[in-house]
Amino acid sequence: MSTKAIKSALISVFHKDGLAPIVKKLNQLGVTIYSTGGTEKFINDLGINVVPVEEVTDYPSILGGRVKTLHPKVFGGILNRQDHAGDVAQMEEFNIPQLDLVIVDLYPFEKTVASGALEQDIIEKIDIGGISLIRAAAKNFKDTVLISSMEQYGDFLNLINKSNGTTTLADRKLLAVKAFNVSSHYDTAIFNYFNTNQNIPALKISETNGKVLRYGENPHQKGFFFGDFDTMFDKLHGKELSYNNLLDVDAAVNLMDEFKGEDPTFAILKHNNACGFAQHKNLHQAYVDALAGDPTSAFGGVLIANQKIDKATATEIHKLFCEVVIAPAYDEDALEVLKGKKNRVLLIQKEVTFADTTVRTCLNGVLVQSRNTITDTKDGLENKTNTQATAAQIADLLFASKICKHTKSNTIVLVKDKQLCASGTGQTSRVDALNQAIAKAKHFGFDLEGSVMASDAFFPFPDCVEIADNAGVKAVIQPGGSIKDQLSIDYCNAHNMAMVFTGTRHFKH
């Protein structure tokens, strides 16, 4: 029979918030309740009769509470097959009580790790009995109902109120699926804690927060986001973010993280690349300068600032159709302006720590690498030419290098006075990237005389520095490392150009 009435329940939980209404409802239905330890006391304090598990097992909780429910009379009551004659006979032979419902949750292992607790305290939060009860009850979903997390309390209470304490096979199977989601996530967290140094080359990722998107990269593709968006942002206004929006937001926050704590900085991104970027003494001018970099591509873009957006800046932004605006804060009158477009997404970015690794699918598997955490600095620069870069040029070179690091390879970035003049993005040759950048800068009216150039990788030939020189570039930053580095250095020396090496390549594919 697929529909079953709950007549008995084992309740043993760490989190008791929201549990009382369930216990009271079960008592109202005449359900026999078994429990242990703190949960048993909690139920007793509600004035509800509860049978201690020790009365069933004839065995006390031992080893400081490490062993409480691990007993054949408990697991027999959960795992027995009610339509199996042999199981039914053994239940009677060994006086094992039937357990129709199991409510259990797990010790807060992840929270304990996140708190910076000592290893011994973390180890004590590795649940044994709870995880065993979950697996047993989920395996026997045909006969057993399982609540495996406090997040399920509300839905379960609604279920038993509506059905008067009965469940269908479909109900029980769905709860089993949820339970295996809980248990697999828990085991993944434990493994990753012990495998911090990646001594075992295994990849285990578990994200229990999932959201269905309108579609994927294109309308004919399905799309999902797995992650806790709300820990990174407060969404103040606008439509639901799309798959492509999320990719651009990710690119934007990673890029702007390079400029945290610096002068007012504004970026405009399109298809994961900065099409406008500028830094100024005030945010309004930084936005105006960023927009000037490519007002065409800015249409429909994602905008991000490293400082609070004021009304003057918001008024300029409002003239542009843009999908998303991100900032650490907004003045109230700025919000009023920006909310003038009902679909425009407004986000406040919170203080966050980025993941240590990046993951992407590849062939029939995945590629994993450590995050590119190296940012080029003045102290790490090596002068390679007779002409030395001035202080102003070094500031521009480092500014350009940061943008270059977050632009699709092959890329060349042209900067002047901390304003992105143009970039060549995602080109198959460095020469093509440079020519693209120069053509774009000229199209939008930039004078490249006195500008600087950043490259994400070395120059195998001197052709790029020659083209840049002819366009007006006076200083170059690149990682170096080509066996023909000297050819580019010689050209720079012959034409009074400054060149510095960083020693760090910044490919981004």
Q: What is the DSSP string of 354-420?
A: --SEEEEEETTEEEEEE-------GGG-EE-SSSPPPHHHHHHHHHHHHHHHTSPSS-EEEESSSBE
Backbone angles phi, psi at 61, to 5 degrees: -65, 130
Query: What are 366's two structure tokens?
Result: 């995945």
Our answer to whether residue 139 is catalytic in this structure is yes
Distance of CA 401 to the CA centre of its chain: 25
Q: Are 461 and 467 in contact (CB under 8 A)?
A: no
Q: Are 482 and 460 in contact (CB under 8 A)?
A: yes
Question: Which residues fall within 8 angstroms of residue 443, CB to CB, at 6 or more apart?
Answer: none
Our answer to whether residue 260 is catalytic in this structure is no
Helix (H) or strand (E) holding 194, with range, is helix 169-194
For 355, counting Cβ atoms within 10 Å of its Cβ (0-12 exposed, 13-18 middle, 19+ buried), the class is exposed
Q: Are 37 and 61 in contact (CB under 8 A)?
A: yes
Q: Are 44 and 12 in contact (CB under 8 A)?
A: no
Q: Select which of 139, 185, 308, 318 is catalytic.
A: 139
Q: Which residue do the tokens 């469940």 mark?
A: 167
Query: What are 137's two structure tokens?
Result: 């009850």
Q: Select which of 25, 173, 235, 271 is catalytic.
A: 271
Strand pairing report for 145-147 and 301-305: unpaired
Question: Which residues fall within 8 angstroms of residue 47, CB to CB, at 6 or more apart?
Answer: none
Give the residue numbers annotated as catalytic, written as ranges. 139, 271
